[in-house]
Amino acid sequence: MIKSLFKNEKKLVVRFAVSLFVTIFLVVMFVTVRSYAAASSTEQVVSSDAQAGEYLDTDPEYVGDEPTASVLQQVIGVDASQPLEIILLLTLIALAPSLLIMMTCFTRIVIVMSFLRTAMQTQSTPPNMVITGMSLLLTIFIMAPVFSEINEIAYQPYVNEELTMEEALNEASVPLKRFMLKQTSNDDLNFFIELSNMEEPEGGFTEEYIQNDLSLTVIVPSFMISELKRAFQMGFMIFIPFLIIDIVVGSTLMSMGMMMLPPAMISMPFKILVFVLADGWNLLIGSLVSSYNW
């Protein structure tokens, strides 16, 4: 089999052999350079520690500090010094925007905007980029009081070195929890408390306990489910006037005998006209902003 392969595909075999040789050569060179760099860095660290050891032992600011400690290690326990930790760090960075979006009012706004586009049957108008941009700007507008409070009680004290990173994160979660709990229904919150199999505290699940001691792993999914429910309720209310227009246009075309003419082609201009005359954008955005409890 090998002889026949070599006879029929001689060029392919030669290319494979050359590629394999080059790969092995590059791997050996990489391992050699890496081991040499690690040895040289170790020697430099040992020499620098020997020179600065006396200073580090006497200065109280550096006594007890770990030389490998970093901000990432203090926050999430990852110092990005190992390949597995680098993968974990990249995963957290990729998921951070999604988690932050799901903890704000972005979900409700973007779903309602999508329902509006579907109800008007304008297909890709407005495009996804416009809907996402409008949702982000409205999210910043609605969440501005929460962000300013986080800046005052957590970020500024941390910058002024009045709080540690862990204390700043705990302080920053308080206004965010308060915002999410105001938008979360009691049924959804109790549902996830039951799913988590939490032990009921001595005084029960009081408002004080929920705001101060309840974990974000329970509050965030409860908030997300409540947001989805309200977004679909608002989407249903948006569909009603446009559905009436579709029914009127369809029955009119049926009575005139124009069965081959698509009703959507006739109803879409009327939908746009009604939406513009009713000042629909102001009504929609005003309803979205006023739907949040402060």
Of the pLDDT bands very low, low, confident and very high (cuts 50, 70, 90), residue 56 is very low
Q: Indicate if 127 and 36 belong to the same structural domain.
A: no
Query: Could you tell me if 38 and 107 lie in one domain?
Result: no
pTM over 0.85: no
Residue 11's domain comprises 1-42
Nearest to 118 by CA among 234, 227, 252: 234
Let me know whether 114 and 203 are in one domain.
Answer: yes
**Within a domain: 240:** yes
How many structural domains does the chain have? 2
Task: Please tell me whether residues 33 and 157 are part of one structural domain.
Answer: no
Tens digits of per-residue pLDDT, 4-53?
Answer: 544 555 666 566 666 656 566 665 565 565 555 555 555 554 454 444 44
C-alpha distances (whole Å) from 247 to each of 101, 234, 241 are 37, 21, 10
Nearest CA-CA partner of 155 in 143, 144, 139, 167: 167
Query: Is 154 within the bounds of a domain?
Result: yes
Same domain, 170 and 260: yes
Is residue 19 included in any domain, yes or no? Answer: yes
Across the chain, mean pLDDT equals 76
Query: Is the residue at 61 inside a domain?
Result: no
CA distance 19 to 132: 46
Give the separation between CA 93 and CA 103, rounded to whole angstroms.
16
For the segment 85-104, what is each residue's pLDDT rounded down to a tens digit? 677 667 767 777 777 788 88
In a domain, 62, yes or no: no
271 Cβ partners below 8 Å, 6+ apart?
119, 120, 121, 242, 245
Q: In this structure, is residue 232 part of a structural domain? A: yes
